[in-house]
């Protein structure tokens, strides 16, 4: 069942890269008491994700914060090492909270998986963005297969 506007995010543990190695972080730690712009990509280092999705949020980070967003976070069904390396490879991405959902548990819990086996990528996340206030989904923008429109930073800014 896909998460909807008005739903509370399910509890899950994600990982983030740190200088000491991967560190677990709970959904409640990230979202409770905060306004978070969360976006998800099918894969780090993939073409649209690297050329448009992540750069758009990095470029609009300060504007999002000026409109009340406390944290901008990116989640992908990749491991923390890949997410950390991807952040280092992209200008401004080091200011985005990069979250690894290596086993896809969070992605399955919000009902936003996609089958990318045809591309040799296994089960991945659909491309989406959401605005989450105190753990509750306020805006949810899910892309149709192969598109990049409603999950962009610019689209989310227009909803603030």
Q: Which residues are catalytic?
A: 49
Phi and psi at 138, nearest 5°, equal -95, -40
H helices of the chain, where?
A: 27-31, 47-48, 54-59, 61-66, 80-89, 105-109, 153-159
Q: What is the rounded distance in angstroms from the CA atom of residue 8 to the CA atom of residue 144?
A: 23
Pairing of strands 71-76, 35-41: parallel
Q: What is the rounded distance in angstroms from the CA atom of residue 152 to the CA atom of residue 130?
A: 10
Burial of 130 (0-12, 13-18, 19+ CB in 10 A): buried
Q: Coil, strand, or helix at residue 105?
A: helix
């Amino acid at each position: 069942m896909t998460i909807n506007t008005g739903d509370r995010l399910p509890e899950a543990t994600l990982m983030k890269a740190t200088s000491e190695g991967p560190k677990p972080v709970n959904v409640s730690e990230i979202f409770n008491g905060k306004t978070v712009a969360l976006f998800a990509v099918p894969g780090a280092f993939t073409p649209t994700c690297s050329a448009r999705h992540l750069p758009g949020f990095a470029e609009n980070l300060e504007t999002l914060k000026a409109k009340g967003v406390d944290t901008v976070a990116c989640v992908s069904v990749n491991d923390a090492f890949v997410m950390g390396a991807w952040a280092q490879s992209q200008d401004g991405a080091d200011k985005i909270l990069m979250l690894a959902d290596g086993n896809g548990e969070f992605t399955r819990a919000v009902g936003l998986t996609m089958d990318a086996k045809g591309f040799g990528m296994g089960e991945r996340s659909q491309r989406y963005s959401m605005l989450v206030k105190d753990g509750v989904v306020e805006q949810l923008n899910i892309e149709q297969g192969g598109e990049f429109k409603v999950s962009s930073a610019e689209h989310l800014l227009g909803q603030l």
